[in-house]
Chain A
Amino acid sequence: MTVSVTVSVPRSAAPLLAIESLRVLFPGATGEIPVVDDVSLTIAHGEIVCLVGESGSGKSLTALSVLRLIPSPGRIGAGTRIRFANEELLALDHEALRAIRGRQVGMVFQEPSAALNPVLRIGTQLVDAIRAHVRCNRSEAWKRAVDALASVGIADPETRARQYPHELSGGMRQRVVLAMALVHAPPLLIADEPTTALDVTVQAQILDLLRRAVAERDMALLLITHDLGVVAEMATRVLVMYAGRLVEEAPVETIFTQPAHPYTQALLAAVPSLATAGERLVTIAGQVPAPGSVVRGCAFRARCPHAIAMCESEAPPLVQLGSAHRVRCHLAHESMQTPAAREGTP
């Protein structure tokens, strides 16, 4: 276990959500393995925070732990604190937690079909979601359900409400899920790869809906994605995860113009883009280490072009670079030079 250097970012208003030193543990062959280790983050009203990383980086587990949805046999480790609107979520009983889920914190997942019941009409499912938190009769709830469908751009919502999930396209189903998540106007929405299963033109529509919800309701959005293009178009702040740890945090412009962690730099260089069409892509040698396989040092050192002896022996702490820029790298100051140098040479 490493010493966590949690540097609090000065903020005028208290954050809506604050995760402190999150650890998620799963049983392994030789005891429990931390799959998420020492992750701290905050999100305020009206902010879009993107959590980026490749598969296995722990970004989805981080999102799930907010509403204590970590699948068994995993568990949230001791010492973790998750505060939402000044309430300690980990201390709540199930009743109190249920009042928050859906009402205060909405969630949207990658696969809309997994979030919908295939044998119930769309409208019925929305009515259930509404009546779970608001006392109203079925016909009032039905009206609200139809309005909710209209609000996410579903044409002819009356007809759609009477249909079953299989009668809708993937994009339409994701709109329904979004309507369900937004129906109680939750202050915080957690969206885990909400557009990954969708086509680009549909993705553009869904991202636009999310942007609108944030702007119009001052909602906070925690957006989990592996797509750096989505990050560039959505984020206020970006958190990069690697092998269960936060390796970099910065405002969106800083992440793209001055990435300080070698992993962030490599990830940005590896993204195919229209601007670099036809060029050879920069690759990251090797692969993400298996959970629990890195016991000492920096988890990225085996793939890092700048690794030094210290990276082998000592886990790097999260250090503050600018007012809102944090990096987990022994060489943070040296590697700051790299992106500028890279832009200079083609």
Chain B
Amino acid sequence: MMSQRALLEVRHLVKQYAVRRGLLARPTPVVHAVDDVSFDIHPGETLALVGESGCGKTTTARAVLRLIEPTSGTVRFDGIDLGGLDARALRAMRRHMQIVFQDPYSSLNPRMTVGDAIREGLTVHGLADGRTADARVAALLTEVGLHPDHATRYPHEFSGGQRQRIGIARALAVEPRLLVCDEPVSALDVSVQAQIINLLRDLQRERGLAYLFIAHDLAVVAHMADRVAVMYLGRIVELAPRAALFAMPRMPYTQALLSAIPQVSPTRLASRLAARDAGQRVAGPGRILLAGDPPSPTDPPSGCVFHPRCFHPRKDAACTQQVPPLEEKSPGHFVACLKEPSHSTPVR
């Protein structure tokens, strides 16, 4: 795809969990929380992982960072296979890959001052101490839009948005090259959310950071991502550059997901009001309403995992038997659907 070597290469990542059926039963059935997931992230790029709850996006992120052990598959960071590293080497590697969590209330130690929380990474990785560390902490606080004096305060003295800034400063302290952002703005109010999105974008530009950005809010993703991977029931079902994905989603699930987003759109509002005045009840023009809930990952459907809810006009028996591979249907646009034709052969 890109000539430059990827910073992060994830190949055939699988994470299974055994579940117990009943209190004394042996843990036999297996949940494929993440099933054969592959993607690359290039330096300075944002790849968004989107999908609904339980689709495996957070599990994927944690398996990539080896916060949980993947069942199989490889993760290479800067060409180094993380699976081949011992605990010590892995810890050293983590300096380059940091994470920002969703909940800025539970991700900071309430008994640690903000300064100590940010300094911790510097000490652990032996990057700075004493006065140097103090100066770094002050510079980081300024960089994320806080005041150097805030270093002596405790997390409870800050609002949600400010705490998220602290979480970002803490992650940036060790100068990572990849930042995993797990729903970093979903707990915040709209006005604060916009501040954090802009901050993350500024930091990326200034530091050349790569982001693995996990979110369920597609409008937020539209503002952050260079490329977007859509997950459903543990699999990536579509992966494309942002513009292509939002303008021309190919996988039926992606189409339904995009059409479900309530939007502040003048044209959509106008047509809704026109329909209302004409006495029609509409779910919103062009709105695709999926039936039911996503199936349980303990008992996923055979073949294409989306087939029971799929509305593709050419859906047939093959969809219930064959697992569609994630294929490049047009340049850079990967789709896991048996019925979607390849638009053109990739031009190089």
Contacts and interface: CB of A to CB of B under 8 A. Distances in A.
A224 to B, nearest CB: 14
Contacts of A281: 194, 197-198, 223
Nearest to B202: A280
B52 A232 contact: no
B260 A201 contact: yes
A201 B259 CA distance: 9
B194 A272 contact: yes
Given A226-B190, A232-B268, A253-B273, A272 B219 contact: yes
B52 A200 contact: yes
A204 B287 CA distance: 9
B273 A270 contact: no
Given A208-B283, A229-B261, A273 B219 contact: yes
A280 to B, nearest CB: 6
Interface stretch (B101-109, B131-139, B289-297, B317-325): B289-297
B262 interface: yes
Contact of A208 (B264, B268, B289): B289
Interface residues of B, number: 48
B150 interface: no
A15 interface: no
B196 to A, nearest CB: 9
A256 B257 contact: no
Contacts of B161: 287
B222 interface: yes
B189 A253 contact: no
A218 to B, nearest CB: 12
B191 A267 contact: yes
Nearest to B261: A200
Contact of A204 (B190, B193, B273, B289): B289
A87 B255 CA distance: 48
Given A232-B264, A273-B263, A275-B265, A201 B190 contact: no
Interface string A264-278: 001110111111111
Contacts of B283: 204, 208, 211
Contacts of A8: none
A232 B256 contact: no
A171 B261 contact: no
A76 B266 CA distance: 38
Contacts of A229: 219, 261-264
Given A54-B191, A203-B262, A207-B262, A279 B223 contact: yes
Contact of A277 (B217, B223, B273): B223
A199 B289 CA distance: 13
Contacts of A215: 281
Contacts of B256: 201
Contacts of B262: 203-204, 207, 227, 229-230, 232-234
Chain B at the A interface: SS class: helix
A228 interface: yes
A4 interface: no
A284 interface: yes
B253 to A, nearest CB: 9
A271 B293 contact: no
B96 interface: no
B300 interface: no
B269 A256 contact: yes
A163 B268 CA distance: 39
Contacts of B195: 283
Given A200-B261, A232-B268, A274-B222, A267 B190 contact: yes
B272 interface: yes
A232 B198 contact: no
A230 B52 CA distance: 18
Contacts of A208: 283, 289
Interface string B149-193: 000000000010100000000000000000000000000011111
A172 interface: yes
Contacts of A227: 262
B266 A257 contact: yes
B76 interface: no
B261 A270 contact: no
A205 interface: yes
Interface in B195-254: 195, 197-198, 201, 216-220, 222-223, 242-243, 246
B194 A273 contact: no
Nearest to A270: B194
B284 interface: yes
B223 A155 contact: no
Interface in B46-71: 52-53
28 contacts: A172-B293, A200-B216, A200-B218, A203-B262, A204-B259, A204-B262, A226-B189, A229-B264, A232-B262, A232-B265, A232-B272, A233-B263, A233-B272, A253-B273, A270-B194, A271-B194, A272-B193, A272-B217, A272-B222, A273-B219, A273-B263, A277-B243, A278-B222, A280-B198, A287-B159, A287-B161, A287-B191, A287-B192
Given A270-B194, A273-B222, 19 more contacts: A54-B189, A55-B189, A171-B293, A200-B218, A201-B290, A203-B262, A208-B289, A211-B281, A233-B284, A253-B273, A257-B266, A267-B191, A270-B193, A271-B194, A271-B264, A273-B265, A274-B265, A279-B223, A282-B194
Q: Which 10 pairs of residues, A with B, have the shortest CB-CB distance? A: A229-B262, A277-B222, A199-B52, A281-B194, A54-B189, A284-B191, A204-B260, A270-B194, A272-B219, A200-B260
Interface of A: 54-55, 155, 169-172, 199-205, 207-208, 211-212, 215, 226-234, 252-253, 256-257, 266-268, 270-284, 287-288
Interface of B: 52-53, 159, 161, 189-195, 197-198, 201, 216-220, 222-223, 242-243, 246, 256-266, 268-270, 272-273, 281, 283-284, 287, 289-290, 292-293
